[in-house]
Chains A and B, each alone.
Chain A
Amino acid sequence: MIPVQFDYLAPTSVEEALSALGQHGDDAKILAGGQSLLPVLRMRLNAPEVVIDLGGIASLRGIRDDGDAIVIGAMTTHHDVRDHALVKEHALLLSKAAAEVADSQIRHRGTFGGALAHADPAGDLGAPALALGAQFVIAGAGGTRTVEASDFFVDLFETAIGEDEILTEVRVPKHTGWGAHYEKFVRVAHQWPIVAIAATVKGSIDEARVGLTNMGSTPLRATATEQALAGATATGDGVRAAAELAAEGTNPPSDLNGAADYRQHLARVLTGRAVLKAAGV
């Protein structure tokens, strides 16, 4: 299938993109890498009158060091996030999760910012971004503002980005040397996770961050597990006891891939595995 007709704009600066967005409002859709948007357009689940392609804005790509954080441009591909030395050193969890997004061809096109702005609850990058306390830099006509990860994800496919705004970059506080693992449970290769766990730990274990993918309408933190892990010893029994708390307060969906109580079971089991692997046990 092919999408319905639309007008195509290819701005070369964020300012140009914002002005196009201001002009066309909710008739327009932003195209980042297109790996989620194009299937939606092809299946005609959405039919924007105008598509604004950010692919020509060089300033939105790349990863840089910014003191206590690394900054990832919104148009940086999953492939580049996975392989970048700064990500591996300071936010290993993101590298591990980016490696698990879809497949090689899609990682070459799909973008970090595009995936986060799309906010699919089964997307692989929301839970790691939340676990690492990422900050989202959003540009609008009046300048830029920064939104904490805990406020960014609002609901299914809904974020704090306004209709006339664009996500330009994501600041990720450095977690230098933290161990990390992204444990993804899928029925078939290169599919969306039924449940996935993003775990990163300092030492074994001084501090832990655990993010949950597809355990609700937004990415979640397993805060009870994180508290139980702080200062714990990374042994199988100790970690599994803390992981028993991973599904607390969650309200996961029931669908063809699994019922809510099955997902909660998965979250507990997979959290144990993810934390042990992150701690190198």
Chain B
Amino acid sequence: MTKIELTVDGAAVSDDVEPRMLLVQYLREKLGKTGTVIGCDTSNCGACTVHLDGTSVKSCNVLAVQANGRTVTTIEGLADTAEGELHPVQESFRECHGLQCGFCTPGMIMQAVDLLGENPNPTEEEVRLGMEGNLCRCTGYHNIVKSVLHAAEGAKA
């Protein structure tokens, strides 16, 4: 077992974990943060996307021990949901109906937040390229792209 100390969604946490434990397992099974989901388990689909020190990563492709001393933000920590708040990108996905079954949505939103942080005013093509690591099996992506562009518009207003 290896001791890790990190910050997850604003709270300091510390645990003894097996080195082989994946970050996504740690978040879901140890911390109960099941908002981050496992889609493909092959680092293709992006459903497990979280932010590690502020940039998007696929949490099925990071060991929990690699997050030692770092800061993780999951879909559950984007906004103060206990207060009924949504992050503007979450709001935009609701507004534009950027989902059908919703399974890919946590990862889509985390990647969209990263994308807009780096490029606040993307073209449609830049959104499609920037979201290439996230797969959706329902929507055909149209409303997802619309949601990201809508969020960018909203941030300008």
A residues engaging B (CB < 8 A)? 1-8, 10, 31, 34-35, 38-39, 41-42, 51, 53, 55, 79, 102-106, 108-109, 189-190
With A103-B132, A104-B114, A105-B111 known as contacts, the answer to whether A8 contacts B2 (CB < 8 A) is yes
Interfacial chain A residues near B25, Cβ < 8 Å: 2
Set of chain A residues within 8 Å of B68, measured between Cβ atoms: 10
Q: Complex: how many Å from CA A39 to CA B42?
A: 6
Per the bound structure, the CA–CA distance linking A281 and B59 in Å amounts to 42
Instruction: Digitize B42-70: 1 where CB-to-A-CB distance is under 8 Å, 0 elsewhere.
Output: 11101001001001111011110110100
Chain B positions 29-88 with a Cβ under 8 Å from a chain A Cβ: 41-44, 46, 49, 52, 55-58, 60-63, 65-66, 68
- List the 4 closest A-B pairs by CB distance, nearest first: A103-B133, A8-B19, A189-B132, A3-B20
Binding site for A on B (CB under 8 A): 2, 18-22, 25, 41-44, 46, 49, 52, 55-58, 60-63, 65-66, 68, 111, 114-115, 130, 132-134
What are 13 A-B interface contacts by the 8 Å CB criterion? A1-B41, A2-B20, A2-B21, A35-B61, A38-B22, A38-B63, A42-B22, A103-B133, A104-B133, A105-B46, A105-B49, A105-B56, A105-B58
Q: Knowing that A8-B65, A42-B41 are A-B contacts, what are 17 other residue pairs whose CB atoms are under 8 Å apart, sorted by A's residue number?
A: A2-B20, A5-B18, A6-B20, A8-B2, A8-B19, A31-B66, A34-B61, A34-B63, A38-B43, A38-B61, A53-B63, A104-B132, A104-B133, A105-B56, A108-B55, A109-B57, A189-B132
Chain B residues in 8 Å Cβ range of A108: 52, 55-57
Bound complex: CA A102 to CA B61 (Å):
13
Give complex CA distance A7, B2 in Å: 9
Q: Measured between alpha carbons, how far is A22 from B67 in the docked complex, in Å?
A: 26
In the complex, what residue of chain A is closest to B51 when comparing beta carbons?
A108
A207-B67 Cα distance, complex, nearest whole Å: 45
How far, in whole Å, are A238 and B27 apart by their CA atoms in the complex? 57
Q: Could you say which residues of chain B place their CB within 8 Å of the CB of A4? A: 20
**CA A8 – CA B114 in complex, angstroms?**
30
Instruction: Give, as a whole number of angstroms, the nearest-CB distance from B109 to chain A.
Output: 13
Q: Tell me which of B46, B58, B62 has the highest count of chain A C-beta atoms within 10 A of its own C-beta.
A: B58
Q: Which residues of chain A are within 8 angstroms of B132 by Cβ–Cβ distance?
A: 103-104, 189-190
Q: Are A34 and B18 touching (Cβ within 8 A)?
A: no
- Please tell me which one of the listed residues A42, A51, A103 contacts residue B46 in the complex, with CB atoms under 8 A apart: A103
User: Is the CB–CB distance between B66 and A55 below 8 Å?
Assistant: yes
Alpha-carbon separation in the docked complex, A51 to B66 (Å) = 12
A103 CA to B56 CA, complexed, in Å = 11
> Once bound together, how far apart are the Cα atoms of A255 and B64, in whole Å?
36
